[in-house]
Amino acid sequence: MGRILGAVALILMAGSCLAAEIELPPVEFKPVREIPGDIPTCREGDINISECIKQGLQQITPRMKYGISELNIPPLDPFEMGKSSYSYTSGLLQGRISMKNVVVHGLSEGIVDKVNFRLKDGRVRMEILSHVPQMFVEGFYKADIKLNDLKLNPKGAFNITMTDVAMRARPIGELYERDGHTYLRLTKLETEPKVGDLKFYANGLVPDPVLNDVILDFINQYWRQLYQAMLPETLATWQPLILKSTNDFFAALPFDMLVTKN
């Protein structure tokens, strides 16, 4: 059946796998000695600190399009993800899917809906609700996989259009002192993304263009079921990377410059 629908469009561009090698763009985190005057800050004792943090995040989100070099924030729109490869070594599917030149558009249009910030005994807990009206992901792929006894070697371009992308993030961390400043180290980061609608496209899944379109129609009809099935493995791969990058960021930027002490 269309080589099992292009191995379900290569597991919707490698969303669920057993092993992954992901190469994020390198970022040099230089120690921050002071922050620019136009970067919003909040006071630790402010009874409305959650609203203050929400407004601050919303103010700097559009500026992330071009980056904020003083805070070690690179340009995020478009965001170039670099190279990645995903391995499948058990079950019906075996082999490797590689992607390159993957670019994400739309992150700077994000809207911060709600923030809940709690600080007690040097422990920080937050919940951040946000959404992006539309995200567009594009890139190139190639695969060398085996589905039962069927060998597949497709390659081509792909893109994914997502609308109403909502994110619930729950970072948990601890404060520590270093060089006369207070820093934040996250110990846990949970993310819960939800997508309102999704449109998937790829060429080269199979040699026949007509059959390629049939596969795409199938994917776009049943993307919600595929998305829910892939989400746990995808989060298990990405959340540790996001946690490390976030801690590298906060290790260079004193927390007490952003949330000032009373």
Give tens-digit pLDDT for 237-246.
788 888 998 9
Short-list 107, 105, 125, 123, CA closest to 115: 125
b/e map of 132-150 (b: 16 or more CB within 10 Å)? Answer: beebebbbebbbebebeee
Beta strands 123-147; 79-90: pairing state: unpaired
pLDDT at 4: 34
pLDDT in tens, 143-182: 887 766 777 788 999 999 999 999 999 999 999 999 999 9
Q: How far is CA 252 from CA 122, 159, 173, 255, 261, in A?
A: 19, 35, 16, 9, 18
pLDDT at 171: 95
The domain that holds 141 is classified in CATH as 3.15.10.30
Domain assignment present for residue 13? The answer is: no
Instruction: Give the chain's length.
Output: 262
Domain assignment present for residue 8? The answer is: no
Domain assignment present for residue 11? The answer is: no
Domain assignment present for residue 165? The answer is: yes
* Mean pLDDT of the chain, nearest integer: 85
pLDDT at 90: 59
pLDDT at 87: 75
Domain count, the chain: 1
Domain assignment present for residue 155? The answer is: yes
Residue 86 pLDDT exceeds 80: no
- What's the token pair of residue 216? 């795409």
Quote the percentage of the chain above a pLDDT of 70: 87
DSSP bridge pairs for 173 = 124, 186
CB neighbours of residue 191 within 10 Å: 15
- Span 114-119, average pLDDT: 96
Domain assignment present for residue 193? The answer is: yes
Rounded to whole angstroms, the Cα distance separating 152 from 142 reads: 10
* pTM for this model (two decimals): 0.84
pLDDT in tens, 71-80: 998 888 998 8
Q: How confident is the model at residue 1 (pLDDT cuts 50, 70, 90)?
A: very low
Domain with 77 in it = 33-260
Residue 43 pLDDT exceeds 90: yes
